[in-house]
Chains A and B, each alone.
Chain A
Amino acid sequence: GENVEQHPSTLSVQEGDSAVIKCTYSDSASNYFPWYKQELGKRPQLIIDIRSNVGEKKDQRIAVTLNKTAKHFSLHITETQPEDSAVYFCAASMGSGGGADGLTFGKGTHLIIQP
């Protein structure tokens, strides 16, 4: 089955700086890569996703890049703000979404924004 590795487990950055979280996946058949943000005690919320037919996608301060050859993808957050503090999960799926056998998640990155 699919295996997703996520690094780092904890990331502390100064407010206003950029943050980068990296994930690798094992199965070359995976074709959908979402990122979820989870605040303490709350549900994960989808913040951005990318499909295997594109290499990069942006949404305001958030961007995701995908390197299919190397089987890794990254989340980039620019101009970080206190409300960006949360746990971020990457995931991969062969079903181009959640509607096949579900998503395989990384173990999460706790992002801390220092004032």
Chain B
Amino acid sequence: DGGITQSPKYLFRKEGQNVTLSCEQNLNHDAMYWYRQDPGQGLRLIYYSQIVNDFQKGDIAEGYSVSREKKESFPLTVTSAQKNPTAFYLCASCLGYGEKLFFGSGTQLSVL
């Protein structure tokens, strides 16, 4: 469904714990993105990567980290430094400059 797979669908984090959200795409897209969605806030860009082994901070990168070791994969780690991590996280990808953005089905992260 859409070629972008996010897992898990639901994730719970304990205090002081790092958690990693998975995003895999089989669309051969060069660019990948992570967005955070809070009720009434729209979607805010956390990190993006336009090519393997390169990534850039978005508007709200503090408390998050990413890697892009493979074209197909762009995992997001929510670190213990992120004090308010409860949100719906969306991964997206696109073929490249000038192309349309497609989203994964999202991961709902909650704090225990």
Give the B-binding residues of A (Cβ under 8 A): 1, 6, 9, 32, 34, 41-46, 49, 89, 95-108
Contacts and interface: CB of A to CB of B under 8 A. Distances in A.
Interface stretch (B19-27, B67-75, B77-85, B87-95): B87-95
B98 A97 contact: yes
Interface residues of B, number: 31
Contacts, number: 78
**What DSSP secondary structure best describes chain A's contact surface?**
loop
Contacts of B104: 43
B30 A106 contact: no
A23 to B, nearest CB: 11
B59 interface: yes
Contacts of A34: 100-101
Contacts of A9: 40
A90 B90 CA distance: 16
B42 interface: yes
15 contacts: A34-B101, A43-B2, A43-B90, A44-B43, A49-B100, A97-B99, A98-B94, A101-B45, A101-B48, A102-B101, A103-B45, A105-B42, A106-B42, A107-B40, A108-B40
